[in-house]
Amino acid sequence: MLRRLLVVRFPLFALALVAPASLAAQAAAGAESVTRAKIVANAEAEFSRVDTNKDGQMSRAEIEAIQLASITARVNARNKALFAELDTDKNGQITPAEFARASPAPKPDATPVLRIDTNKDGQVSLAEHRNATIETFTKIDANKDGLITGLEVKAATEGKITAPGK
């Protein structure tokens, strides 16, 4: 009853549910004046398109079916465009090389590790590594009992301690 009332008395509500975005966007952007007659005609056409069993009502199932069709069409169009972008040689197949070019692997960067290179010789010795490990352990071990608990690790990962070399 309420759905029928909303559709009969408030065609703009029905329009908002099912109308193409272009008509509403045009009116909102002020790009084109849209008459009431055009809005009503469009709403009635959209209602008819959604009301697939032609019983004069838009059921949840009918609305969701139209929404699913619209979503599926947008996803398929986006996927087709993405495929065309990835398929650089336009042979209808995406090779591993084409796929890899779309998302290149990050470049290795030793800078974070080299922060513990205390003598700045461009290498990390066992002693430097051990000292950084002990310094980190000491910072994480908040109660200084010689053990690291899950809560202490959580506190450390939330940024409450600073890493060695910073």
Q: How confident is the model at residue 130 (pLDDT cuts 50, 70, 90)?
A: very high
Average pLDDT estimate for 85-108: 89
Residue 32 CB partners (closer than 8 Å, separation 6+)? 26
Read off the pLDDT of residues 49-65 as tens digits, 9 standing for 90 and up.
999 999 999 999 999 99
Q: With 0.85 as the threshold, say if the pTM is over it.
A: no
Determine the Cα–Cα distance for residues 65 and 52; give it in Å rounded to an integer: 10
- pLDDT averaged over the chain? 81
User: Measuring CA to CA, which residue among 8, 2, 70 is closest to residue 43?
Assistant: 8
Report percent pLDDT > 70 for the chain: 77
The CA distances from residue 12 to 8, 17, 23, 66, 121, in Å, are 10, 9, 12, 18, 72
